Chain A
Amino acid sequence: MIKEYIENWSGEINTVTIGATLNEGGTRRFSIKVGGEKTLPFLFKENKLPFKPVIAYEVWDIPPSDWPEELIRFYKDVLNDPLAWAEKVVKEYNAELICLKLAGAHPEIGKSPDEIVKLLENILKSLDVPLIIIGCGDDQKDNLILPVCSQITKNQRCLIGEVTQDNYRTLTASVLADGHNIIAQSPIDINIAKQLNILISDMGLPLERIVINPTVGALGYGLEYTYSIMERLRLAGLNGDKVIASPFICFVGQEAWRAKEAKAEDSEFPQWGKASRRGPLWEMITATVLLQAGADILVMRHPEAIRKVKEYIELAYSV
């Protein structure tokens, strides 16, 4: 019989902790650890995978304009109230991690820093799960509001983002001062991913506080390419390159629900089957493939898809 081959990796993925409990200076009920992998995804026989991948529920500060009915129907009652939205996903859907997207801060919509501060204060008061905070995507505006968010949530050990190679200094300085973690976004490019990690750690932020967003594509929209880039990054990390041995965050919902196959209504393509099944399946399959590629944090939207992916993770980790 052929002996099972075991690879002895020289490196391991950095462990990042999100959320600080009372003991740790924050007010979260628990903290979440991601990363720490000593081998490739799901190779439990080979070495340790100490932490399960986690799923964050996406919550917006304004009603999203491009979410299809299949998503909207779950959040109809809370779309105009981000605090209620956050409460709903925690209390009703048992979310253990919230990803707050501050889309309303975008210059075209123009929510003020004051409104955002108030929202964050309320969320911190009302809820005790760890937080991910994402800016509006406009560099200048993000450089204004994210440092404020960082201050308001000081010592809560949030995961804040995103920074890019062209705009990382302002937020990195805030995150460093306020004890948070950072999301480093690169455009499906291992070199830029690594360069950005070097630039951030050159400013003094430890590598254990960086999560990489490698930028992903949904099923049918570049998922294979995403997979190969994530795999190469992970292999480099396991081979001992500390600089890019960061856990991954993947914005699954955002990508999957952009696909025509996910969001088209029943009447548009009757032969494609029901949107209520098609949409969540699209998000779910994208998520499970990204888990195979090494995703540590999945940011998702559809409660049913999230439930299924959680089941999948539980099942995989129970063997």
Chain B
Amino acid sequence: MEKFKVTFYPDNKTVEANRGQTLLSVAISAGIYINSSCGGEGVCGRCKVILKKGDVLTQPTGRLTIEERKKGIYLACLTTVQSDLEIEIPEESRLSFDKLTPQEIELRLRGLYGESEDIPSSDSLLGEVFVHSPLATKLYLELPKPDLNDRISDLERLYREIRKNYDIPIMQTGLANIRRLGEILRSSDWKVTVTLGKRNGTVEVVLIEPYDTSKRNYGLAFDIGTTTICAELIDLNTKKILGTKAIYNKQAVFGPDVITRIIYAQEQDGLEKLHHAVVDGMNQMIQEFVQEQKIDLNDVTCVLCAGNTTMIHLLLKIEPSYIRKEPYVPTANFVPTIRAAEAGIKINPRGLLSCVPGVSSYVGGDTVAGVLSCGLYKEKNLCLLIDIGTNGEIVLGNKDFLVSCAASAGPAFEGSGVSCGMRASSGAIQKVKINPQTYEVEFSTIGSSLARGICGSGYIDILAEMLRAGIIDKSGKIKLKVHPRIRETEYGREFVVAFKEQTSIDSDIIINEADIENLKRAKAAIFSASSILLKHMGVDFKDVKKIFIAGGFGNYLDIKNAKIIGLLPDLEDDKFIFVGNSSLAGARQILLSYPAMQKANELARKITYFELSVDPNYMEEYMAALFFPHTDILRFPNIKNLI
């Protein structure tokens, strides 16, 4: 195969590439991540690059204007290497990883945006306080030395001493530890620290260290989301959270949602690449934690992961393809506790990794962790948990029963598949007001910087404000005809949210009728899934006493606007409770408490799953929800007069 050199600017990185390789894959091999919402299908038009020098072959696309083509702009996913190349990657084409500001991380991890400080964060009020009993416990022991009257073996001597502290009938120890045991005990004058790990109903002597290290025992809780990975470093002795971090899931470059990633996993080395993308991200976070907190990596003894079923499969490099094939069966919902090193996670080499069990292919451990942490399972009254994401998960129930379903909402609310969409990060338009007389737009961006795009909460505000101002009709068509902000294009009419001067991307930020259609479908999927679940149980929204809103996206939501567009049911504001990242909160609880893990196992078994794709009523409900706020306006009595 003919090889060429490709240099990327402004990174100034040069890598070798084969003739015919796409620029997108060459960039990935150079460690440069380019936006690619569609996973390299040539559909989203996000991966624009500028050819500075060299020859390429490209395919026709409607995603580039004639002007852009003249400037030498190409879509990286449709363009292949034909000679040595120099490529410039403009800012808007880049996936800005790791660059979440501390403030954004804070938002992702708990509370609400802006005026919402009064709403309690998930860990203070909700959930159960489980007995402190972490996944890995350290125990300092001073063993009586053997003599002729006490001649039991070293290992039995160790067990005997452990059992003086804990009633553990069955224990196991790996051969590697047994091989080292005699030497460690004698060289440390019979003073050792053992790390006891809970593994699948038994207890393992995970680690034997000389002298007393029991004060230094740390664990990590992870929420592995399709879009974002969040983590907390926790002192397992004191239960204190020592640090929090959030990064983007680098798998995003292979596709925006679980389905495209499962498809990507079928390609050559696809599973390997997806696995590495997530593991590398996690290891990078762990490294930073360890350095910042000045702790020894060997003192990190366990990791607890919550994630949707696909994310967990990819983390553990388990073939995910059966998840998307009828009858939608995953390889494993309950994954036994393993050694973290087996999954490539770098903590203490003998440290443990456990995953929160899932319910089904599309209701995963993240949802179970969410149910655990918001305490839905012990509520007396009927409650609903809505996790608004690319794959929206919904759980209905109380202390007596739990049912769930998943709605494929698409990534529109996460800023994908919409023309100016972006994730909720710096420069994203997140709050919008439109003057109903002049149609002038007032907006604020995350980090108060120049606008770069629109994130989910921004889109919800825009839709609600456009409805209120009469710019769009209830079916989402732009009805306003003549105004400087209205333009006719080949993709239908568009409305300018921010003019070029207010942006950092050198072009107007707009919303068009196709975007509105995508957002309408996303909100219809979430709402109709909730209402079908209620119908299955023979109850109505008004019977629901609390609605827990979860998900990274749930942190920024304007409840009233979400009701106006029909994403959330028309209930009193005080029934909605933001639980932020309930998945991470649940993972932390499970990491710190074995009873919490047992509860999670029980919940995963107890939650009944409804497969909507085979439900004949779902389509009908979905069609009825494809309207603002809904075809059946009687379901939104308080919204009726607002639009």
Contact = CB atoms under 8 A, between A and B. Distances in A.
Real complex partners, A and B?
yes
A166 B473 contact: no
Interface in B22-50: none
B623 A191 contact: yes
A118 B633 CA distance: 44
Given A191-B631, A195-B631, A198-B633, A166 B626 contact: no
B186 interface: no
Contacts of B475: 165, 195, 199
Contacts of A169: 473, 479
B514 interface: no
Nearest to A240: B634
A191 B617 CA distance: 13
A198 B623 contact: no
A189 interface: yes
Given A169-B479, A194-B631, A199 B474 contact: yes
Q: Classify the interface of chain A: helix, strand, loop or mixed.
A: helix
A234 to B, nearest CB: 17
Contacts of B479: 169
Interface residues of A, number: 12
Nearest to B477: A166
Interface in A178-198: 189, 191-192, 194-195, 198
A198 B477 contact: no
B241 interface: no
Interface in A245-270: none
A166 B631 CA distance: 16
B362 interface: no
Contacts of B632: 194
B624 interface: yes
Chain B interface size, under 10 / 10 to 19 / 20 to 34 / 35 or more: 10 to 19
Given A191-B623, A191-B624, A191-B626, A199 B473 contact: yes
B627 interface: yes
A189 B474 contact: no
A169 B623 CA distance: 22
A202 interface: yes
A243 B632 CA distance: 10
A123 to B, nearest CB: 33
Contacts of A191: 620, 623-624, 626-627, 631
Interface string A112-146: 00000000000000000000000000000000000
Nearest to A194: B631
A194 B474 CA distance: 12
A165 B476 CA distance: 10
Nearest to B470: A202
Interface string B477-489: 1010000000000
Contacts of A199: 473-475
Interface in B456-503: 473-475, 477, 479
Contacts of A202: 473-474
A92 B239 CA distance: 94
Interface of A: 165-166, 169, 189, 191-192, 194-195, 198-199, 202, 243
17 contacts: A165-B475, A169-B479, A189-B623, A191-B624, A192-B623, A194-B631, A194-B632, A195-B474, A195-B475, A195-B626, A195-B627, A198-B627, A199-B473, A199-B474, A199-B475, A202-B473, A202-B474
Given A191-B627, A243-B633, 19 more contacts: A165-B475, A169-B479, A191-B620, A191-B623, A191-B626, A191-B631, A192-B623, A194-B632, A195-B474, A195-B475, A195-B626, A195-B627, A198-B474, A198-B627, A198-B631, A199-B473, A199-B474, A199-B475, A202-B474
